Amino acid sequence: MDFVSDILIPVASLAGLGLIFGALLAVANKVFMVKVDKRVADISEVLPGINCGACGYPSCSAFAEAVAAGKAPVNGCVPGRAEVAEKVGDIMGVEAEADERFVAKLACRGTEDVARDKLEYYGAADCRSAMLIEGGPKACAYGCMGLGTCVEVCPFGAITMGEEGLPLFEDELCNGCRRCFKACPKDVIRMVSVNAEVDVACNNHDKGAAVLKACKVGCIACGKCVKVCPEDAIEMVDNLAVIDYHKCTNCGACIEACPTNAIVRLSPVI
Amino acid sequence: MSKSFSGGIHPAYNKAMTAEIPIADMPLPDKVRLPLSQHIGAPCKPLVAKGDTVAMGQKIADSDSFVSAPIHASVAGEVVLVDDQAIEIKTDKEKSRFSGAAQSYNNQGELRQIIREAGIVGLGGATFPTHVKVTPPEGVTIHTFMINGAECEPFLTTDHRVMLEQGQEMIAGSKLLMEACGAEKTIIGIEKNKPDAIEHMSKLIADEPAFAVTGVQVKYPQGWEKQLIKSLVGQEVPDKGLPLDLGIVMNNVATAVAVHRAVEYGEPLLNRVVTVSGSGINKPQNVRAPLGTSVADLVEFCGGLKPEAAKIIDGGPMMGRALSTLDTPITKGTSGILVFNRDEVHLFSEDPCIRCASCVDACPSRLLPNYLALYVKREMLDEAEEINLMSCIECGCCSYVCPSKIPLVHYFQRGKQEINARNRNQ
């Protein structure tokens, strides 16, 4: 065995190749360097990672990039609430102002016993499909059909189907991502501020007599609430009472006055 | 081997209930309600106002759009309601007599205009305006005209009865339609479960060299335009294409009769033959009903509903839609009113898909209903469009064969609607 040709030359040539490639890599690293904003990774880390889309971006990482680029506000993550906003604010080095929190509420109290059905529905168990059959099984064209599309789309399990045929919204679990709001074909889900304590739980824009034919607890546009409200916070828009929450003081006079109990007091949200 | 297409199903046909009974003429109802959109295309705009007196056959609504068909008063009387949905006329039974004169024409264009002015649309149920169908685009030559007498929907026998009772008028109408679209020959396609109609038609065309009658296999949806063309001439209409691409125009039996009457008597489309059938009706039969007659009046004429009646369908059992009220008018597209008893109405809930692919075998459009349903359920519209959701003809074969009772077509209708809405917004 020849020491030089069998050991020294291979070792030396391999070491030489290593040196050359190493040098190439070092140069490439400098020349082709991509600047990565470390904050994007950090922000992604603190986001919930459910890709709900409530911020207006298609995914959590897209939102993180937008925040790092200064295009999105640090408190833009809706389901993350104040907690995440604060963390993102820390990473970005700014003070995060907590936005008003909104939760999804059903603007309908038409349970099976009070709202009449106009047909028996046996199609696909999905609200959007049921809409194709004469606008759904309920006599009220505006009310909740109770087929549970909102339950299915909620990423937080905040909505469950109640025993009386209407979905129940768990305020604590609701992070305000608006998925149910967008999916509902009847537009009967509303985003209500957690500070609100009074809500008109009806979505019917028909005149009073037509409402009563379909449902016993609908807003009949009688205008009593408008009259009793001491703050002038209620307005009758298209045959439906609408509360201006900037004026409402949660006094509850309208709840007392409503003859069909369409205005309800909301339980306080923690 | 019978002439046929791939896929399809063999439901119970149940046609015997009405196939032997002659068409009954229904007396004029007290009131008619004529929807402004009884056809595919632009809805009409009313030409009359509340309080106007209209004559029978008077044009009461029309549209400037090419793809549309005017609407005529099916009775004489007073207009009692005009809104953006419909026109209602209170019947004056004394004055309700139609008078018109034979129409003359000098060229294809004038003939098509007569067809348009008569408000004629495809009476098989698709309600596509006939004058549009017989107007081939520039550069397209039509060589064959076809009459669709397949009538593959269970229970329905309107085309069957019309062929037997108005065969001569149908042949005359076919000649006019042939002329309007410039075809040289006519093929009449009839499912083999109507041997009397095939025989009758064969006799009528014995001296007509341009005509041929072909019996086709009894299979649903044989009466769908593209499937029947495949059965009759062995050629497939391209996906998203039209029979025009093969130089073919097809019309329904009753449409040809209507065209004949429009030219021969100057009579617009005033009535249509409707099959009233099913276990829940006292006197099943075919009825020639004025357009705009309410289902309630029609049912009353047929002896009323049986006490066990539970479900009413507008159209055939495969493609029709359930009605929630009898206060619905008969329109140009109403081929049948079916009433079923409670014990016949199958109420079921959907089970999970077991991936048996029965629906794939049954689909006459050779789609993958199982994946389409999955995509629509998951709101994956792009993917659904990619595997040709829009080519679904909503025939219902997939839902019919599904062992898990998944209402597949219902999902597809929703998916198609969502895709259409999205494309409109873009």
**Are residues B206 and B110 part of one domain?**
yes
Measured between CB atoms, which of B324, B325, B414 is closest to A129? B414
**Are residues A45 and A159 part of one domain?**
no
Residue span of the structural domain in which A73 resides: 38-92
Q: Are residues A118 and B417, on separate chains, in Cβ contact within 8 Å?
A: no
Q: Quick one: pLDDT at residue B347? A: 77
**Are residues A244 and A183 part of one domain?**
yes
Helix H or strand E segment including B24: strand B24-25
The minimum CA-CA distance between A113 and chain B, rounded to whole Å, is 20
**Are residues A84 and A145 part of one domain?**
no
- Chain A residues in contact with B321 by the CB 8 A cut-off are 133
In a domain, B96, yes or no: no
Q: Quick one: pLDDT at residue A268? A: 67
Q: What is the ipTM of this complex?
A: 0.78
Q: Are residues A132 and B377, on separate chains, in Cβ contact within 8 Å?
A: no
* Average pLDDT score over residue span B72-98: 93
Q: What is the pTM of this model?
A: 0.84
The minimum CA-CA distance between B321 and chain A, rounded to whole Å, is 8
Q: Quick one: pLDDT at residue B2? A: 66
Interfacial residues of B (vs A; Cβ cutoff 8 Å) = 321-322, 324-325, 347-350, 377, 406-407, 410-411, 413-414, 417-418
**Are residues A73 and A114 part of one domain?**
no
Pick from A74, A92, A110: which residue ends a domain?
A92
Q: Which residue of B lies nearest to A183 if distances are taken between CA atoms?
A: B379
Least confident of A65-79, B20-34, B82-96, B290-304: A65-79
Least confident of A170-179, B212-221, B408-417: A170-179
Alpha-carbon dihedral B284, B285, B286, B291, rounded to 10 degrees: -50
Q: With 90 as the cut, is the pLDDT of residue B141 above it?
A: yes
- Chain B residues in contact with A119 by the CB 8 A cut-off are 322, 324
**Are residues A144 and A55 part of one domain?**
no
Summarised one tens digit per residue, pLDDT across range A231-265 is: 999 999 999 999 998 899 988 899 999 999 999 98
DSSP string, B131-174: HHHTSPPTT----EEEEEE---STT--HHHHHHHHSHHHHHHHH
Measured between CB atoms, which of A120, A125, A132 is closest to B413? A132
Spatial distance between the Cα atoms of B256 and B183, rounded to a whole number of angstroms: 14
Summarised one tens digit per residue, pLDDT across range A51-60 is: 888 888 989 9
In sequence order, the 6+-apart residues with CB closer than 8 A to the CB of B88 are B31, B32, B33, B34, B79, B80, B81, B82, B292
Instruction: Point out which residues pair with A160 in neighbouring strands.
Output: A168
Summarised one tens digit per residue, pLDDT across range A79-127 is: 888 888 889 988 888 887 767 788 999 999 999 889 999 888 888 888 9
Q: Quick one: pLDDT at residue B386? A: 95
Spatial distance between the Cα atoms of A95 and A82, rounded to a whole number of angstroms: 11
Q: Are residues B410 and A123, on separate chains, in Cβ contact within 8 Å?
A: yes
**Are residues B184 and B147 part of one domain?**
yes
Q: Quick one: pLDDT at residue A218? A: 93
**Are residues B366 and B338 part of one domain?**
no
Residue span of the structural domain in which B236 resides: 103-265
Task: Assign B246 a pLDDT band (cuts: 50, 70, 90).
Answer: very high
CB pairs under 8 A between A and B: 36
Q: Which residue of A lies nearest to B409 if distances are taken between CA atoms?
A: A124
Q: Which of B314, B324, B342 to mutate to test the interface with A (most CBs of A within 10 A)?
A: B324
The minimum CA-CA distance between A150 and chain B, rounded to whole Å, is 13
Task: Assign B206 a pLDDT band (cuts: 50, 70, 90).
Answer: very high
Number of structural domains in chain A: 2
Give me the CATH number covering residue A84: 1.10.15.40
Give me the CATH number covering residue B246: 3.40.50.11540
Assess contact for B243 and B233: CB atoms under 8 A.
no
Pick from A65, A92, A119: which residue ends a domain?
A92
In sequence order, the 6+-apart residues with CB closer than 8 A to the CB of B421 are none
Give me the CATH number covering residue B80: 2.40.50
**Are residues A176 and A70 part of one domain?**
no
Q: Are residues B347 and A125, on separate chains, in Cβ contact within 8 Å?
A: no
Q: Are residues B349 and A125, on separate chains, in Cβ contact within 8 Å?
A: yes
**Are residues B225 and B202 part of one domain?**
yes
**Are residues B373 and B323 part of one domain?**
no
Q: Are residues A128 and B321, on separate chains, in Cβ contact within 8 Å?
A: no
Assess contact for B132 and B66: CB atoms under 8 A.
yes
**Are residues B139 and B47 part of one domain?**
no
Spatial distance between the Cα atoms of B261 and B115, rounded to a whole number of angstroms: 10
The minimum CA-CA distance between A126 and chain B, rounded to whole Å, is 9
Q: Are residues B348 and A122, on separate chains, in Cβ contact within 8 Å?
A: yes
Measured between CB atoms, which of B347, B349, B414 is closest to A128? B414
Q: With 90 as the cut, is the pLDDT of residue B69 above it?
A: yes
Q: Quick one: pLDDT at residue B114? A: 96
In a domain, A163, yes or no: yes
**Are residues B141 and B257 part of one domain?**
yes
In a domain, B348, yes or no: no
Q: Which residue of A lies nearest to B328 if distances are taken between CA atoms?
A: A134
Q: Quick one: pLDDT at residue A269? A: 56
Measured between CB atoms, which of A120, A125, A132 is closest to B414? A132
**Are residues B290 and B254 part of one domain?**
no
Q: Are residues A124 and B322, on separate chains, in Cβ contact within 8 Å?
A: no
In sequence order, the 6+-apart residues with CB closer than 8 A to the CB of B90 are B30, B31, B77, B78, B80
**Are residues A160 and A260 part of one domain?**
yes
**Are residues B310 and B230 part of one domain?**
no
To the nearest whole percent, how much of chain B has pLDDT over 70? Answer: 100
- What Rg do the C-alpha atoms of chain A give, in angstroms? 29
- Chain A residues in contact with B410 by the CB 8 A cut-off are 123-124, 129, 132
In a domain, B71, yes or no: yes
Q: Which amino acid is at B194?
A: K
Q: With 70 as the cut, is the pLDDT of residue B3 above it?
A: yes
Nearest Cα neighbor of A225 from A262, A257, A180 is A257
Q: Quick one: pLDDT at residue B193? A: 94
- Chain A residues in contact with B382 by the CB 8 A cut-off are none
Q: Which residue of B lies nearest to A139 if distances are taken between CA atoms?
A: B324
Q: How far is CA A55 from CA A76, A175, A179, in A?
A: 6, 12, 11
Give me the CATH number covering residue A197: 3.30.70.20
Interfacial residues of A (vs B; Cβ cutoff 8 Å) = 118-120, 122-126, 128-129, 131-134
Summarised one tens digit per residue, pLDDT across range A9-64 is: 999 999 999 999 999 999 998 888 888 888 898 999 999 888 888 888 989 999 99
To the nearest whole percent, how much of chain B has pLDDT over 90? Answer: 89
Number of structural domains in chain B: 4
DSSP string, chain A: --HIIIIIHHHHHHHHHHHHHHHHHHHHHHHTPPPP-HHHHHHHHHS------TTSSSSHHHHHHHHHTTSS-TT--TTTHHHHHHHHHHHHTSPPPPPPPEEEEE-----TTTB-BSS---S-SSHHHHTTTTT-SBSSSSS---S-HHHHH-TTS-EEE-TTSSEEE-TTT-----HHHHH-TT--EEEEETT--EEE-----S-HHHHHHHBTTS-----HHHHH-TT--EEEETTEEEE-TTT-----HHHHH-TT--EEEPPPP-
Q: How far is CA A127 from CA A145, A152, B268, in A?
A: 7, 11, 41
**Are residues A88 and A209 part of one domain?**
no
Q: Which of B85, B410, B419, B422 to mutate to test the interface with A (most CBs of A within 10 A)?
A: B410
In a domain, B3, yes or no: no
Backbone torsions φ then ψ of A185, nearest 5 degrees? -75, -15
In a domain, B5, yes or no: no
**Are residues A80 and A196 part of one domain?**
no
Q: Are residues B407 and A132, on separate chains, in Cβ contact within 8 Å?
A: no
**Are residues B245 and B130 part of one domain?**
yes
Location of structure tokens 């072909």: B214
Average pLDDT, chain A: 90
Instruction: Give the strand pairing for B185-191 and B144-149.
Output: parallel
**Are residues B207 and B115 part of one domain?**
yes
Pick from B49, B69, B91: which residue ends a domain?
B91
The minimum CA-CA distance between A109 and chain B, rounded to whole Å, is 23
In a domain, B8, yes or no: no
Q: Are residues A124 and B407, on separate chains, in Cβ contact within 8 Å?
A: yes
**Are residues B245 and B132 part of one domain?**
yes
The minimum CA-CA distance between A119 and chain B, rounded to whole Å, is 6
DSSP string, B95-109: T----------SSHH
Assess contact for B148 and B158: CB atoms under 8 A.
no
Q: Are residues A119 and B324, on separate chains, in Cβ contact within 8 Å?
A: yes
* Average pLDDT score over residue span B168-194: 95
Give me the CATH number covering residue B331: 3.10.20.600
**Are residues A177 and A54 part of one domain?**
no
Assign residue A163 a region: left if phi > 0, alpha if psi is -120 to 50, beta otherwise?
alpha
